[in-house]
Amino acid sequence: MTIAVLVHEQYQTLEAWVPYFRLREAGIRPLFLGTAHREVRSKTGYPLRPDKVIKAIRAEQLDGVLIPGGYAPDHLRRYAEVRRLVRDMDQAGKLVAAICHGGWVLVSAGILSGRKVTGFRSIQDDLVNAGAVYRDEEVVVDRNLITSRHPGDLPAFCREILGFLQG
């Protein structure tokens, strides 16, 4: 199995790396995808070089996509290839997971109408205005869509991701 972890400048360190290592620990291949093949830095300055460029990947090559938060989602959502990948993954019923501000990418991908989600409280209005049903819970699962609010929710977020992939 291969899971794409979408990254860009100002990604949230824990929200990218904790799921990355939990997936590896479970024998699942995480793949960092960026909009360019250049080093990006987290909000705290932690460097990361994407394994591949998003343009070079199709949904058929992946089993899921994970969108960490930070300020990176506000950049990622501007790219048509990001929105297309997330939409294609969702339409195929594959894992789509977002934490914190990662919900912004879901909004721009247009996949939230009628879906139950959570996210960082400052984007609650954005999620609701995109048609989602917002829940203030550590993790919300709606079919193949798994969302969480912040780094403190990572244990529940990772548990549900692994449960979905192994179930």
CATH of the domain at 57: 3.40.50.880
pLDDT of 50 reads 97
Q: Are strands 116-117 and 95-99 parallel, antiparallel or unpaired?
A: unpaired
Catalytic residues: 100-101
Supply 103's token pair: 């919900």
Segments forming the whole domain that contains residue 92: 2-166
pLDDT in tens, 8-32: 999 999 999 999 999 999 999 999 9
Q: Are strands 145-148 and 47-48 parallel, antiparallel or unpaired?
A: unpaired
pLDDT in tens, 104-161: 999 999 999 999 999 999 999 999 999 999 999 999 999 999 999 999 999 999 999 9
Number of domains in the chain: 1
